[in-house]
């Protein structure tokens, strides 16, 4: 029967998307990983590496990533290059004395195709290593494609291979018969072409180098139908199109997917064991391909028992991984469905489980103790007020809050009190507290284990980050970038950050300028100042201002500025080094004064210009 559809010329190709990608076992993992890279750039699978032979849909997925990313994030910048174009741009930058990495400013997703063409080009590979480091460090997504596994590309830098191993490497293989038929039907529907029943199935059984070659054969069929003004039967296709169709072997009634030996062959013992194991695997959605091949011959191979044992062990481990992933909430169901259907991908499934474990690890617990209210009278009132505002205000104020004291125990006590108070306010909030050396050790352990992406997902999800021993940042040289990007990511999310050290930010040497600037961006407070008496605390709290407050009258300004300088120790008698050297708003103890006579002042003029518009002063009505 001929489907009543009008044959037509091939329409212009629309932009390839995930919606028109026919997904099957051969490309399911690549499709799922590509979608995640587009929807949540830089959070997992970074870098994402896809490889396949020609014509299997690799370019389709790359284009679909770009399309979906722009659709999901309209403002995102996607840079897509072939290796040849990338190398040309690197050379151009070198020739004109430019910094190539400057061209990556603002890029959210970077896509590189034909990685194999970069083999042997040492300078380009060096720049590619730096490109991956630069972009992944900023939370941008890197996607790379090649025609074979990166490890099989001769002349590829080991550092580049190391970067790829930190992400996810996925192969796209030949689609199975069912997927090929679906692809053919989709192409015919897209072009409104009718064919005889059974034609897609016959073409789908033929041998092709890839999907592109198969679709070229569909093009030839359409042209012949239009030329002869008729449709062709399935029996005509092999001769008409020169198809090479393998002879189909007879299948047994048990419905196994692979051809079996003809009736009468030896089936004593071993065959029944194989078939039982096949059925058991299928019940758990596990492909039995490794053992089905045993049934192709009339006699079992000499090592058939070892093959069954290894498959049984692999299937058992797959079930265990599936159960544990389920218990962990399985953050990547599409990816796990593909990996856990194939015992030959057990190593990848183990890696996925390691990432899920890392992602679900709890943050270090905060010991029992008082909240911020319980520290009254023992800590400067301004520090307690600022910490309280930090956790209560939405969006957060004074972040990062940097506190310092010569006593590490004192700063740690304040940090733990912040965490407890936040937990009282948000019982389900995620509070992360540890030292800088511990943070660096955990990060490098995650890198070693290949779960750096999951580690970032976990730490970047914190609602409150409490870090002490910040003065030891210079010792964690290789983790400085990671610390900076962690703070950046949390700040963008509106999370709270409290940093503690034995000295102010200006006295921490040996860290990059951008990091030093980040440390002092918020409020910097000295915890070694004497706590205020109870009757003075309310006056100290007046320094923390509200947006609705009224400004001082102009003729009060001089007297009030002098009063604040005496109160804060800025430029006046008794001024502390912290107050004189910090670019943030700093307060130290001084004689009490009325709230009507308090204004903020910045020691550095440039900071005042930047912040002055947001500052207001609290004053009580004077009764006039």
pLDDT of residue 310: 86
Dihedral of CA atoms 313, 315, 319, 322 in degrees, nearest 10, equals 120
Place of tokens 């089905």: 292
pLDDT of residue 76: 94
The residues near 242 (Cβ < 8 Å, ≥ 6 apart) are none
What's the Cα-to-Cα distance from 394 to each of 237, 419, 429, 493, rounded to whole Å? Answer: 69, 16, 14, 11
Collapsing DSSP to helix, strand or coil, 24 comes out as coil
Q: Are 556 and 597 in contact (CB under 8 A)?
A: yes
Q: For residue range 275-326, what is the model confidence (pLDDT) as tens digits?
A: 888 888 888 888 888 888 787 767 777 878 888 888 888 888 888 888 888 8
Residue 397: pLDDT band (50, 70, 90) is: confident
Q: For residue range 176-204, what is the model confidence (pLDDT) as tens digits?
A: 778 888 888 888 888 888 888 888 888 88
Residue 246: pLDDT band (50, 70, 90) is: low
Q: How far apart are CA 516 and CA 453, in angstroms?
A: 26
Question: Strand order in 401-404's β-sheet?
Answer: 431-435, 464-468, 496-501, 401-404, 523-526
Q: Are 416 and 366 in contact (CB under 8 A)?
A: yes
Closest to 35 in 3D by CA, of 48, 26, 25, 24: 48
Angle at 69 between CA 169 and CA 332, to 5 degrees: 45
What DSSP designation does 325 have? H
Element (H, E) at 431: strand 431-435
What is the per-residue DSSP string for 206-265?
S--SSHHHHHHHHHHHHHHHHHHTS---GGGHHHHHT---PPPPP--TT--SS--PPTTS
> Taking each helix axis from N to C terminus, what angle separates 28-39 and 58-72, rounded to the nearest 10 degrees?
30
Q: How far apart are CA 336 and CA 348, in angstroms?
A: 9
Question: Which residues are paired to 64 by β-bridges?
Answer: none
Closest to 48 in 3D by CA, of 146, 154, 116: 146
Q: How far apart are CA 552 and CA 597, in angstroms?
A: 8
Q: How far apart are CA 165 and CA 150, in angstroms?
A: 10
What DSSP designation does 542 have? T
The residues near 499 (Cβ < 8 Å, ≥ 6 apart) are 400, 401, 402, 403, 467, 468, 470, 519
pLDDT of residue 278: 83
> Taking each helix axis from N to C terminus, what angle separates 452-459 and 436-449, rounded to the nearest 10 degrees?
140
Residue 622: pLDDT band (50, 70, 90) is: very low
Cβ neighbourhood burial of 561 (10 Å; 0-12, 13-18, 19+): middle
pLDDT of residue 13: 54
Q: Are 301 and 294 in contact (CB under 8 A)?
A: yes
Domains and CATH numbers, the chain: 28-172 (3.40.50.300), 270-360 (no CATH), 372-526 (3.40.50.300), 535-614 (no CATH)
Strands 77-82 and 48-52, by their bridges, are: unpaired
Collapsing DSSP to helix, strand or coil, 534 comes out as helix
pLDDT of residue 384: 92
Backbone angles phi, psi at 404, to 5 degrees: -140, 150
Q: Are 140 and 42 in contact (CB under 8 A)?
A: yes
pLDDT of residue 250: 37
């Amino acid at each position: 029967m001929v489907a009543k559809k009008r044959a037509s010329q091939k329409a212009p190709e629309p932009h390839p998307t995930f919606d028109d990608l026919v997904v099957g076992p051969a490309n399911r993992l690549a499709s799922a990983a590509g979608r995640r890279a587009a929807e949540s750039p830089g959070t997992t699978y970074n870098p994402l590496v896809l490889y396949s032979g020609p014509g299997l849909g690799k370019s389709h997925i790359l284009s679909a990533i770009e399309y979906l990313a722009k659709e999901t994030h309209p403002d995102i910048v996607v840079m897509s290059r072939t290796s040849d174009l990338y190398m040309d741009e690197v050379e151009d930058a070198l020739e004109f004395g430019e910094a190539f990495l400057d061209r990556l400013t603002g890029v959210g997703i970077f896509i590189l195709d034909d990685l194999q063409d970069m083999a042997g080009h040492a300078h380009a590979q060096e720049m590619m290593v730096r490109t991956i480091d630069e972009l992944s460090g900023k939370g941008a997504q890197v996607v790379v494609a090649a025609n074979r596994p990166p490890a099989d590309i001769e002349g590829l830098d080991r550092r580049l291979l190391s970067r790829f191993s930190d992400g996810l490497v996925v192969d796209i293989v030949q689609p199975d018969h069912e997927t090929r038929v679906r692809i053919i039907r989709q192409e015919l529907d897209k072009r409104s072409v009718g064919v005889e029943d059974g034609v897609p199935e016959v073409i789908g059984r033929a041998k092709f180098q890839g999907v592109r070659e198969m679709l070229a054969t569909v093009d030839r069929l359409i042209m012949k139908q239009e030329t002869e003004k008729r449709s062709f039967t399935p029996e005509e296709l092999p001769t008409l199109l020169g198809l090479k169709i393998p002879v189909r072997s007879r299948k047994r009634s048990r419905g196994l997917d692979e051809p079996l030996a003809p009736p009468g062959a030896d089936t004593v013992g071993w065959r029944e064991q194989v078939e039982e194991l096949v059925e058991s695997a299928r019940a758990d959605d596990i492909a039995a391909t490794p053992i089905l091949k045993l049934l192709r011959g009339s006699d079992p191979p000499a090592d058939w028992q070892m093959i069954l044992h290894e498959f049984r062990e692999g299937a058992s481990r797959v079930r265990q991984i599936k159960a544990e992933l389920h218990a962990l909430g399985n953050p990547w169901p599409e990816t796990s469905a593909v990996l856990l259907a194939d015992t030959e991908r057990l190593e990848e499934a183990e890696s996925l489980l390691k990432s899920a474990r890392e992602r679900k690890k709890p943050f270090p617990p905060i010991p029992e103790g008082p909240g911020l209210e319980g520290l009254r009278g023992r800590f400067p009132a301004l520090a307690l007020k600022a910490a309280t505002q930090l956790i209560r205000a939405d969006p957060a104020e004074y972040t990062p809050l940097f506190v310092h004291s010569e006593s590490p125990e004192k700063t740690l006590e304040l940090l733990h009190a912040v965490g407890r108070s936040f937990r009282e306010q948000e019982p389900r909030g995620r509070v992360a507290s540890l030292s800088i050396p511990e943070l660096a050790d955990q990060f490098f352990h995650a890198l070693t284990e290949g779960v750096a992406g999951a580690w970032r997902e976990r730490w970047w999800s914190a609602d409150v980050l409490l870090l002490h021993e910040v003065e030891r940042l210079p010792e964690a040289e290789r983790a400085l970038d990671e610390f900076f990007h962690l703070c950046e990511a949390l700040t963008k999310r509106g999370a709270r950050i409290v940093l503690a050290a034995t000295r102010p930010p200006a006295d921490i040497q040996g860290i990059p300028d951008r990091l030093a600037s980040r440390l002092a961006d918020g409020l910097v407070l000295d915890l070694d100042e004497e706590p205020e008496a109870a009757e003075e605390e309310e006056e100290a709290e007046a320094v923390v201002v509200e947006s609705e407050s009224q400004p001082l009258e102009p003729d009060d300004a001089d007297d009030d500025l002098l009063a604040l300088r005496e109160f804060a120790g800025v430029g006046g008698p008794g001024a502390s080094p912290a107050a004189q050297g910090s670019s943030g708003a700093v307060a130290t103890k001084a004689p009490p004064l009325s709230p009507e006579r308090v204004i903020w002042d910045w020691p550095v003029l440039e900071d005042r210009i930047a912040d002055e518009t947001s500052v207001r002063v609290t004053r009580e009505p004077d009764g006039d």
